[in-house]
């Protein structure tokens, strides 16, 4: 269950980059967005954060539901489909680190190990800058990048967990977070008919991690974030 000390926290003072399909700033489930950038497949940048897919908006809503006091920075890497390149992801991770974000939420992943040569250095650069990458550890039995890379905090699905809780477990000898795959509810829409899955397990975990960093601002990096969550016992 979620620990009592976290119930009074909002994520204040914690900056989070949401690397996804953008966000609808006027969506009723979204709070204020600090700023954002869009990365195009040809390497250009612009400021159109329009979310044509809805995925990034739902992910951001799940994070802000748990950490409404956090500053959210949006990096749009998906445009007309939920697909992008490893180099674009690396640029977005670098951008998050340059912004001073403590957490970078990547509700995505690729099983292609050939992408490691681009993504691993990006995760390492982010870690040196104080930005923790939180991403899917596995999906349908396959390890995912960047969530399974050293330095990243991987997230796995646990459908039995409440949306406001996480638990710490082990996969392949590594500590990972388990979280619910359900997003913020939409009135009148059954949870199974709404977007759901590993993307929202990552978002739910990021929101709760932001609360832990709010309470323990000295925590730094993957090991400290896990230790902070463990010490506060938001696990079951």
DSSP 147-166: TTSTTSEEEEE-TTS-TT-E
Distances (CA, A) of 26 to 23, 54, 224: 9, 13, 35
Tell me which fold the domain 4-231 belongs to.
Rossmann fold (3.40.50)
Can you give the pLDDT at residue 234? 43
Can you give the pLDDT at residue 1? 40
Q: Which residues of the chain have pLDDT under 50?
A: 1, 233-236
Can you give the pLDDT at residue 3? 52
Burial of 191 (0-12, 13-18, 19+ CB in 10 A): middle
Can you give the pLDDT at residue 193? 63
pLDDT digits (tens, 9 = 90+) for 47-82: 999 999 999 999 999 999 999 999 999 999 999 999
Taking the whole predicted model, whether its pTM rises above 0.85 is answered as: yes
3-state class (DSSP) for residue 81: coil
Can you give the pLDDT at residue 189? 66
Can you give the pLDDT at residue 190? 64
């Amino acid at each position: 269950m979620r620990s009592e000390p976290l119930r009074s926290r909002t994520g204040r003072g914690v900056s989070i980059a949401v690397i996804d399909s953008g966000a609808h700033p006027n969506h009723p489930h979204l709070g204020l967005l600090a700023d954002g950038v869009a990365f195009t497949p040809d390497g250009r940048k612009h400021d159109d954060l329009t979310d044509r897919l809805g995925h990034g908006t739902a992910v951001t809503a799940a994070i802000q539901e748990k950490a409404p006091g956090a500053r959210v920075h949006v990096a749009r890497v998906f445009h007309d489909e939920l697909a992008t390149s490893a180099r674009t992801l690396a640029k977005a991770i670098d951008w998050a680190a340059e912004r001073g974000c403590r957490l970078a939420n990547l509700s995505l992943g690729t099983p292609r190990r050939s992408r490691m040569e681009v993504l691993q250095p990006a995760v390492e650069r982010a870690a040196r800058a104080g930005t923790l990458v939180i991403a899917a550890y596995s999906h349908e039995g396959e390890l995912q990048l960047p969530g399974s890379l050293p330095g990243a905090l991987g997230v796995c699905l646990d459908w039995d967990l409440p949306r406001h809780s996480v638990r710490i477990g082990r996969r392949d000898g590594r500590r990972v977070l388990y979280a619910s795959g359900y997003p913020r509810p939409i009135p009148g829409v059954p949870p199974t008919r709404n977007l759901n899955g590993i993307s929202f397990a990552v978002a739910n975990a990021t929101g709760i991690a932001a609360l832990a960093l709010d309470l323990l601002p000295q925590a730094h990096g993957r090991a400290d974030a896990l230790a902070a969550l463990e010490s506060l016992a938001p696990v079951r």
